[in-house]
Amino acid sequence: MKEILFGAAYYLEYMPYDRLKEDLDMMQQAGMNTIRIAESTWSTLEPTDGEFDFSYIDRVLEEAQKRKMNVIIGTPTYAIPSWLEKKCPEVMVYNKEGRARYGHRQIMDIMHPVFRKYAERVICKLAEHTAAHSSVIGFQIDNETKHYGTASREVQELFKEHLKEKYHTTEALNKAFYLAYWSNSIHDWDDLPDMLGCINGGLATEFAAFQRSLAAQYLQWQSDLVSKYKKKEQFITHNFDFEWKKFGADIAQDGYSYGVQPDINHYEASKAVTIAGTDIYHPTQDELTGAEIAFGGDSIRSLKYDNYFVLECQAQAFKYWTPYPGQLRLHGYSHLASGAQSILYWNWHSIHNGYETYWKGILSHDLATNPTYEEAGVMGREFERLGQDTLCIKKENKVALIVDNRSLDAFKWFPIDKDLSYNDVVRWMYDSLYEMNMECDILDIHALNERNIVKYSMLVTPVLYSIAEEKIALIREFVKAGGVLVSSFKSFVANEELSVYPDAQPHGMTECFGMHYNQFTEPGKTKFAGEPLSYFAELLQVTTAGSYENYDHKYWGRYAGLTENAYGKGCAFYIGCFTSKEILKKIYRKAYAKAKETVPAFEWPVIIRSGINAKNDTIHYLLHYSEEECEITSPYDHTVDLLSGKEYQKGDTIHLTDWDVCVLKEQ
């Protein structure tokens, strides 16, 4: 990429009247250079079976070419036309709710051969039609892809073949998952029961992992199709999304991007793309913290250890997301600070009818200028002036936070507490790092290996419940060689079949942590470090741990809630209970010091995120998430703020206004 990609999804076919030229002119006036088109428009591209109409795409490409704007083509497969459902109702996904009814998006069976046949045809026709156009810089395959719960008879037959290949015999399968329980063992492969009724958490989780692999294979299939037509320099990307945190009613407007996505494994699926991409939505107004932007960015950047695309982010959206003055600009620079090299809004205009009528775009329903558009323009012109080589950064973080889809699945079956999810614990541990300005990569456990673990001085493992023996050995050797480990409760408990290891917990790590346990409890009146506890507490029995802190309780007081232990050349911390962020941050400070890293001088709402740009300059993004003005002392010898031109020496006062941004370049 020669420039930061800045723009929006644009849907000419959704507009109430023809204003293509006016829209693109307005985009350019705001410094926008990129539009994303075509995804979700299958019924427009192919109004009837075999009849294709690319006229609206041709018009957009023609006007984009005149303005030297970039275009990303999205394959239109995540929302199928009704004629396809009428032709073959079985293309609708069959899941635990039964056969889906036509209407919503993402309700097709990604494995059905009829769906695949027609999807392949429209993908190939679209790619063939657009790939040679000079404005087309790349392709987005599908949209926020997941497995959608697909569990048809054909999918379950594929799963049976997967089990045969992995376990070879039914005896091995029965033993791996302890299927003798409740008479669930089988002695003929054809007796494998319907997974939708499975009561064995391990086997059900194996099926969930299989479903995720189908979603990854589906994206690879699309990538292979597009690759037949795309030019060498054109990229393939996908907009990976996250678990959606919901409040109250189960509607899209009641949530935001929160944690690890349960229905596709990002690491596995990222092999299908040349550049990873993402969609990130988050609270705004008084609830804006920047944590969701950072979490999403750290997750997607770490998939390929490279810059990534933000393919969807919010402009106005809902009533409680309409940004305060300065917040939209802060959002944008926050994405760049995490390593993004594109910022595309969903979407350019507010839709006048349809399911997402009030998920507002940059323009409101009057399609006129407004404060959101004007603020986007301020940022866009800054991007033009400073350029990608200055603003886009690479990172070499020394901390890695380890996540795992199987552990996520495990806590659906074996909850820590009805009010505490896997992602709640992940975000507790991640957000505390974020608020302390301790930057980290977020790695899938399967991405952690002997080659990349040496990049890090500190690992953080939130509820790493399910873990294979070889990964335990890898982490143990990391500590022995001098690394620092911070692990939460319910880590190192079970293997990848979710069978609990039959020895002292945490399995394989008791010497590393200098403790073990075999009981846990509801905290009740228990306190730890002077504070009441919630949800869960393991009763840790100290053996060789050099430092520990016990619970404050008449009966549980003889047990530790936290241990710190020297192991080899390194150090391991184990947190046996869900504490406040303040207590967790104290642990991080000690761990960070043990890792010989410098604890940053200030914390949220002032966030610092740093990296090296293409010119080999050190860049520090200074992001202020507050409506209150504040002053901080510059920690750097000599910097210049690329946005304002102000220079700062070490010890100088930097004044930050509400929702402020500085981009400091070291001189």
d(Cα 576, Cα 574) in Å, to the nearest integer?
Answer: 6
**Where do the domains of the chain lie, and which CATH numbers do they carry?**
5-75+127-149+233-390 (3.20.20.80), 399-594 (3.40.50.880), 606-666 (2.60.40.1180)
Q: What is the pLDDT of residues 461-497, one digit of tens each?
A: 999 999 999 999 999 999 999 999 999 999 999 999 9
What is the torsion angle, in degrees rounded to the nearest 10, for the CA atoms of residue 191, residue 193, residue 199 and residue 202? 70
- Which DSSP category does 637 fall into? S
What tokens does 628 get? 């209150």
Cβ-based neighbours of 294, under 8 Å, separated by 6 or more: 334, 337, 338, 434, 607, 609
Partnered with residue 461 across adjacent β-strands are 487
67, exposed or middle or buried, with CB in 10 Å at 0-12, 13-18, 19+?
middle
According to the model, what pLDDT value does residue 1 have? 75
d(Cα 607, Cα 334) in Å, to the nearest integer?
Answer: 9
Specify whether the CB–CB gap between 305 and 275 falls below 8 A.
Answer: no
Q: What is the pLDDT of residues 167-183, one digit of tens each?
A: 999 999 999 999 999 99
φ, ψ dihedrals at 347, nearest 5°? -130, -165
Residues of the chain with pLDDT under 50: 250-252
* Terminal C-alpha separation, the chain: 26
The one-letter code for the residue type at 197 is G
d(Cα 516, Cα 287) in Å, to the nearest integer?
Answer: 40
Kindly report the number of other CB atoms within 10 A of residue 252's CB atom.
12
Cβ-based neighbours of 593, under 8 Å, separated by 6 or more: 599
Which among 614, 233, 244 is positioned nearest to 394, based on CA atoms?
A: 614
Which among 290, 309, 307 is positioned nearest to 240, based on CA atoms?
A: 309
According to the model, what pLDDT value does residue 246 have? 78
On whether the pTM is more than 0.75, the answer is yes
Sign of CA dihedral 104, 279, 222, 156: negative
Cα radius of gyration rounded to whole Å, the chain? 26
Cβ-based neighbours of 411, under 8 Å, separated by 6 or more: 421, 422, 463, 465
What tokens does 299 get? 């997750």
Place of tokens 């419940």: 465
